[in-house]
Amino acid sequence: MKNYMVIARIKGVDYLTKVEAESEMSAEHKILDLGICGQKEYSVESCMAYNFDMMKTETFRGHALNAEPITLEALIVKIEVRNFEIRERDNARKKIERIQKQIKELEKQLEENKKILK
């Protein structure tokens, strides 16, 4: 197992944390797999792991300087909060859809009964 620096974007904010994993890909997936995919959004919007050599690049330095340092545990909490928000939004969309269908059905029944009264 090696240590990797991972930059993950959650709700438009980049976070920098250290992850222990076997490869860059598995370090990324340790973060990505914690998030969910909602109807219109993702918990973890992007994720990039850097090994020791990759940390020497301008790309890493640029990303790291604009990222908020955070512990892995605190990042997990942020992902869980974001998962909850996405589930709530998805549930609200589904409920709105059901209510709109009910309204259409009730409007149809209303018009049918108005015709009977004429």
- Count structural domains, the chain: 1
- Identify the domain containing residue 58 by its residue range: 2-90
In-domain check, residue 11: yes
In-domain check, residue 112: no
In-domain check, residue 16: yes
Instruction: Give the model's confidence band at 66: pLDDT under 50 very low, under 70 low, under 90 confident, else very high.
Output: very high
Residue 118, pLDDT > 90, answer no
In-domain check, residue 107: no
Q: DSSP letters along the chain, please?
A: -EEEEEEEEETTEEEEEEEEESSHHHHHHHHHTTS-B-SS-BSS-EEEEE-TTGGGSHHHHHHHHTSEE--HHHHHHHHHHHHHHHHHHHHHHHHHHHHHHHHHHHHHHHHHHHHHH-
In-domain check, residue 100: no
Tell me what pLDDT residue 23 has: 96
pLDDT digits 0-9 by tens, 15-55: 999 999 999 999 999 999 999 999 999 999 999 999 999 99
